[in-house]
């Protein structure tokens, strides 16, 4: 675990929002430059790398020499985020977590700047991403907006492992950043997406077992809180059969995935296949009493595995 190079001031000399950006990486040489370009507004950008061998760190430092780099072996997303919060000594009271295949937008940065300037008693903010597939924003079948806790006040939020991702533990009220960021979650190709979700489906076995033991709380279905509503749906889905069919009907028909054209249809089929893998692995676990394998190696943070790598996301939802 180490750090290299100190961060510097914004190259333009203008005051940057008081937000430290932390980017989790593994084998992200093809994505990291675009991510760094989108966060040039921050004067404190940190990379936490979990052992890349593809030149991720070297590429990042060539593009942005002021970036601070830390290295830490990957255990799970929650542990990696907590390690970063404890170790990198953010230079600002607010931290924004990004993955290398994500990009901030000017409108989103402006809104974050306004919110952290006058947060009241809020200790964090949920963000949502625009997911792109086959060159198109798949708004409907990706269940936009899908909220993730990414902007947080230092010392007020922690994470814990949940399924293949993490879930936030906050000690105060949370808000929302309504302007989305861009998520290029298939930037390395569909084969990479499939390999990554093979790992995800294995990690979901433990989560499904736990969700089946939690109270269903059907009242959450009718709340205006989108995070609570989606968590209810996950608890419900854990209790029913025909997961693949339910996934396809819900995303393609009920949520309007058909409005996303041919890319939406293909993406809904991929999500259906993912649910088939979860169902098959649950059946295998029940038949042979096998637990969740632990020998997959470090996941690809924010994109794909290495080779079978691993973001519910911050708000308890899969990255898609």
Pick the closest to residue 61 from 73, 50, 49 (CA basis). Answer: 49
In total, the chain counts a number of residues equal to 320
Reply yes or no on whether the pLDDT at 15 is more than 80. Answer: no
Task: Name the pTM for this structure.
Answer: 0.79
Report CA-CA distances (Å) from 89 to 26, 45, 72, 86, 307.
21, 11, 15, 7, 31
- Same-domain check for residues 134 and 17: yes
Residues 175/180/181/182 CA torsion (nearest 10 deg): 150
Reply yes or no on whether the pLDDT at 144 is more than 50. Answer: yes
- Same-domain check for residues 109 and 236: no
- Same-domain check for residues 155 and 245: no
Query: Which of residues 160, 183, 206 is at a domain's end?
Result: 183
> Which two structure tokens, joined as six digits, stand for 72?
């830490």
> Which two structure tokens, joined as six digits, stand for 216?
């269903």
CATH number at residue 96: 3.90.550.10
Q: With bands split at pLDDT 50, 70 and 90, how would you rate the model's confidence at 6?
A: very low
Task: Determine the pLDDT at residue 308.
Answer: 28
**Residue 161 neighbours by CB under 8 Å, 6+ apart:** 76, 77, 78, 79, 167
Residues 269/135/260/147 CA torsion (nearest 10 deg): 80
Domain that holds residue 216: 190-288
- Same-domain check for residues 211 and 170: no
Which of 21-25, 95-99, 291-295, 296-300 comes out lowest in average pLDDT?
Answer: 296-300
Which of 147-156, 188-197, 309-318 comes out lowest in average pLDDT?
Answer: 309-318
Percent of the chain past pLDDT 70, that is, above it, reads: 85
Look at strands 124-133 and 136-137 and give their pairing: antiparallel
- Same-domain check for residues 84 and 165: yes
- Same-domain check for residues 228 and 276: yes
**pLDDT per residue as tens digits for the range 271-313:** 999 999 998 998 898 888 765 444 334 444 433 333 323 332 3
């Amino acid at each position: 675990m180490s750090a290299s190079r100190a961060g510097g001031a914004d190259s333009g000399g203008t005051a940057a929002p008081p937000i430290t950006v932390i980017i989790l990486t593994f084998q992200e040489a093809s994505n990291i430059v675009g991510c760094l370009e989108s966060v040039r507004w921050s004067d404190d950008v940190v990379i936490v790398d979990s052992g890349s061998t593809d030149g991720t760190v070297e590429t990042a430092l060539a593009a942005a020499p002021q970036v601070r780099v830390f290295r830490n072996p990957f255990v799970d997303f929650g542990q990696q985020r907590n390690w970063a919060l404890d170790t990198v000594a953010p230079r600002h009271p607010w931290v924004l977590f990004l993955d290398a295949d994500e990009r901030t937008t000017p409108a989103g940065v402006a809104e974050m700047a306004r919110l952290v300037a006058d947060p009241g008693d809020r200790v964090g903010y949920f963000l949502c991403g625009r997911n792109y597939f086959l060159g198109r924003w798949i708004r409907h079948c990706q269940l936009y907006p899908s909220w993730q806790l990414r902007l947080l006040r230092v010392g007020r939020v922690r994470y814990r492992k949940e399924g293949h991702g993490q879930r936030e533990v906050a000690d105060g009220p949370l808000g929302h950043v309504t302007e989305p960021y861009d998520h290029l979650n298939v930037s390395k190709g569909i084969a990479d997406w499939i390999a990554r979700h093979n790992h995800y489906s294995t990690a979901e076995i433990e989560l499904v077992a736990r969700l089946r033991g939690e109270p269903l709380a059907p009242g959450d279905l009718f709340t205006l809180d989108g995070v609570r509503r989606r968590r209810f749906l996950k608890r419900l889905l854990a209790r029913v059969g025909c997961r693949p069919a339910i996934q396809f009907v819900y995303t393609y028909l009920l949520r309007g995935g058909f409005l996303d054209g041919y890319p939406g249809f293909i993406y809904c089929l991929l999500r259906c296949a993912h649910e088939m893998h979860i169902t098959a692995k649950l059946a295998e676990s029940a038949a042979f009493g096998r637990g969740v394998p632990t020998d997959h190696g470090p996941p690809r943070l924010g994109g794909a595995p290495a080779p079978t790598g691993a973001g519910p996301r911050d708000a308890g939802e899969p990255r898609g």
